[in-house]
Chain A
Amino acid sequence: MVKRLSVLDANRCTGCQSCMFACSRRFGVGGLAYSAIHVRSVGGIEHGFVVIVCRACPDPPCAKVCPVDALKVRVGGGVILDAAKCIGCGFCAKSCPYGAIFWNERENKPNICVYCGYCAGYCPHEVIALEELG
């Protein structure tokens, strides 16, 4: 079964961003340049947080707008990036209504979630989890 990351309860999120750091660390680096998950406040920390992750859409707009077919639709939903093909136009990021495609300034390419769930292992408050798509 294919999997995707799911936000179980954003109200439990404390904004620690451990997930964001985990995502970059998965690529063997510190900082946040390679993160494909984002946590920000709902317009002010007093109102809580938004956790932005790729929903693994069955019919993803990001793949449709890619002019060079660098984003392939994954069987079951979501996309897979072929970085060698990507020309860094940024259309994919603009097309995502959730803003779940983040820009990697260093590579000039999108950070696309690979649905590995590494980030979920570092959520201390059970906000996110990897779940089966079905």
Chain B
Amino acid sequence: MDEYLKNILYIDLSRKRFWVEDRGSLFEEYLGGVGVASKILLEECPKNADPLGPENVIVFAVGPLNGLFPLASKTVACFKSPLTKSYGESHAGGRSAIAIRQAGYGAIVIKGASETPVYVAVHGKNIIFRNASALWGLRNSITVGRVLREIEGGAGVRTIMRIGVAGENLVSYASVNTETYRHFGRLGLGAVFGSKKLKAVIVSGKTMISVSNVKRYRELYDKIYTTSIKSSVMKKYHDLGTASNIIPLNTIHALPTKNLRESSFEYAENISGERLAEKYLGRRVACAHCPIACIHLAALREPYVTEPYFYKTTMISYDHELLYALGSMIGVKDTEGVLKLIDEVEKWGVDAMMTGTVLAWMTEAYERGIVGENEILGLKLEWGSVESYTKAIEYIVKGVNEFYKTASKGLDALTSRYGGEEFSLSYGGNGMPGYHTGPGAHLTYLTGARHSHLDSAGYSLDQETLKGKQLSEKEIAEKLYHEESWRQILSSLVVCFFSRGIYTPETVCETLDILGYSFNEVELKRLGEKILSNKNDFKEREGFNMLNQRFPKRIFETPTPFGLLEEKTLYESVKEFYKILKERARNS
């Protein structure tokens, strides 16, 4: 291991103190990233901690491959989630991973809470607590970045992780924005920042990472680099980005539409990657140290109605998940409408997927008369009503009445107050991602440690299964378990999941070998299982029981590409998954 990775920077916001600890053995055992961060969370966050209390901690961790190999561009954040009141984990790219690694740390742990707004600047060894009261309440989170960019150094080698008003107002699904277009989006890290009166964290640095066998390092680097720029999968991410999923999902009836009352959307073309690339794509950008550049920015040109020939052009980052959540899920049928809503969630700093599922629930609840004019304050909440949705997002962020305040706490808060659970697309409290591909997708949402489609990628398994033979309940559970445990390794290194086809177990072993670690494939897989088990330990400690989790009723009413899902078989697979998880945990 190099001289920097083992360093953990601890920041105590209550006392405005910081210190560095050498945690070499922790990084040797768990590599870095999620392996280390989840372990620190278990150490530092007391049982039953209030997610919005000073006792909650935020852990940012990177791994041995960051700063050394291409596509190792991600940071993992662990915290207790204010949305699910359980395990919180969120990943982001941008420049965050390179900046943390280059500042000379393997992880940054933020504890306590400040009494007044602060931001923390970490420029290598210089750590500075700065007053942020003038930034608190700034309406647009993009402006926060703009201001900090001017007053802090490190242009090009820094990350500016900040929250918007949603985080300040403790919206349970507030996000943390980094480099304007990337996010620690899910599970409410933004609210945890807000509860600590932490407006932003800036990290920069330029260190040297030594490598013992330079020749082998360069050779392996070249192999990975060349494979990645020649790979057809990576080309897909570069050309159209994840937005290329909209049309194929729609064609097979797997695109959640209008709160999943339907699984295909009449206007899918309008929100497709193809349409966006042809008419709006303004720029493609990359995370630091990733040659692929999958981030797509649309240039939205809008006229001012008050004056002729007067326009504003906004650059808006789009991805499949946002186009689903703020497009098909709420029936928005025009490209510009979706882009405007994406820009709104960006400004306020909320998770797009959660916002979309909340708006979808609200629309259906209003339609059914579960909530009335008094609750929604006269907004015309109808499918596709961009202006009303824009206003609704603002009302949620500001918590203008009891209804919107409840909506700011998520789907489960809404249903326990107003009912309508049968059409609430909540998994452990987290809003459903944009795939209704079949049993695999929904099993991932339920069994995945963070209730994310990326936990075990059931949506991908479904699409493979569609072409081949049907899997039994047990086979699906096994495949999802193995995928999720392997992904713990990828997110401990920390490489982007998009490069999972390149970072095969064999290649990962090679990279680690060059860096002086001795892992064979079997040991690596076992480590992945152990990390997954640690995450599950945290969840169970906080009262989570996988077997008590319920699938939303709605998912059984709307056909998937496999037809209607059967409740019984899905619950059977959950039991199988749980059984494997427990068995493997005992072995590891």
Q: Which residues of A contact B (CB under 8 A)?
A: 14-18, 21, 24-25, 28-35, 38-41, 43-46, 48, 105-106, 122, 124-125
Contact = CB atoms under 8 A, between A and B. Distances in A.
A39 B291 contact: no
Contacts of A46: 180-181, 283, 297, 315
Contact of A16 (B208, B214, B289): B289
B69 to A, nearest CB: 8
Given A32-B102, A106-B208, 20 more contacts: A14-B286, A16-B290, A16-B293, A17-B286, A17-B288, A18-B289, A18-B291, A21-B67, A21-B289, A25-B217, A28-B214, A31-B68, A32-B157, A34-B208, A38-B156, A40-B155, A44-B149, A44-B180, A46-B283, A124-B292
Contacts, number: 98
Contacts of A30: 2, 67-68, 208-211, 217
Interface in B101-127: 101-102, 124
Of residues B101, B157, B287, which shows the largest number of chain A Cβ atoms within 10 Å of its Cβ? B157
Contacts of B290: 16
Interface in B183-234: 206-211, 214, 217-218, 221, 225, 229
A18 B156 contact: no
Interface residues of B, number: 42
Nearest to A49: B285
A29 B214 CA distance: 7
16 contacts: A16-B287, A16-B289, A16-B290, A17-B98, A21-B70, A28-B211, A30-B2, A30-B210, A30-B217, A32-B102, A32-B207, A33-B208, A38-B156, A46-B315, A105-B124, A124-B229
B301 interface: no
Contacts of A32: 67, 98, 102, 157, 206-207
Contact of B156 (A31, A34, A39, A122): A39
A125 B225 CA distance: 13
Interface in B291-323: 291-293, 297, 315
Most buried by B among A16, A30, A39: A30
B291 A24 contact: no
B484 interface: no
Contact of A105 (B206, B225, B288): B206
A31 B289 contact: no
Contact of A14 (B156, B157, B293): B293
B179 interface: yes
Given A46-B315, A124-B229, A41 B155 contact: yes
A31 B286 contact: no
A29 B229 contact: no
Contacts of A33: 206-208
Nearest to A48: B283
Given A25-B218, A28-B211, A40-B155, A15 B68 contact: no
B284 interface: yes
B417 interface: no
B286 A15 contact: yes
Contacts of A35: 206
B183 to A, nearest CB: 14
A16 B180 contact: no
B553 interface: no
Nearest to B299: A46
Nearest to B156: A40
Contacts of A125: 293
Nearest to A38: B156
Nearest to B293: A14
B291 A31 contact: no
